[in-house]
Amino acid sequence: MFYQLKIAEEKDLNRLTSFVEKAGVSSEGFESLIDCIVLMESGEHEVVACIGVEPMGEYGLLRSLVVSDKLKQAHILTLFQSIQALAEQKGINHLFLVTNKDASVQFLSLMGFDEIEQTSIPNQLLSIDHLKGSLEQDNAKIMVKSS
């Protein structure tokens, strides 16, 4: 199966929002973040994965990762590499994320993310509603990767 990566555009907003919400993930703020979202689509232009970064100066919060069960780990790795490249283009040097899945921690560690304490989160990021909600999840773990 052929998949294509691209930076989301306004014309992608409806199908992207639908894809994310179908997975039970919040699409709040997508309108203002559309050029900070990488999506992967099939040859038929069906969205099969996405991830966004919410910028705050040199810091960024990775959010709204949704991946179709059709994808292999290599596709997910490519998706992460793409959002990291986009973040660097936008002047983001420190990428943060929150996960509550131990399997994700192992995968992300292999990609260079380190687990940190909540007290190490920069104050700028603590103002992001999406982050506040994620930190309230059971077993929430914070990870960071600096370039």
Cα within 13 Å of Cα(45), Cβ side: 4
Question: Sorting pLDDT into bands at 50, 70 and 90, what band is 87?
Answer: very high
Q: Domains for the chain: give ranges and CATH numbers.
A: 3-146 (3.40.630.30)
- For 98, other C-beta atoms within 10 Å of its C-beta total 21
**pTM, two decimal places:** 0.92
Question: Sorting pLDDT into bands at 50, 70 and 90, what band is 102?
Answer: confident
* 67, β-bridge pairs: 49
- The two tokens of residue 74 are 């290599």
**Range of weakest confidence among 10-19, 65-74, 130-139:** 130-139
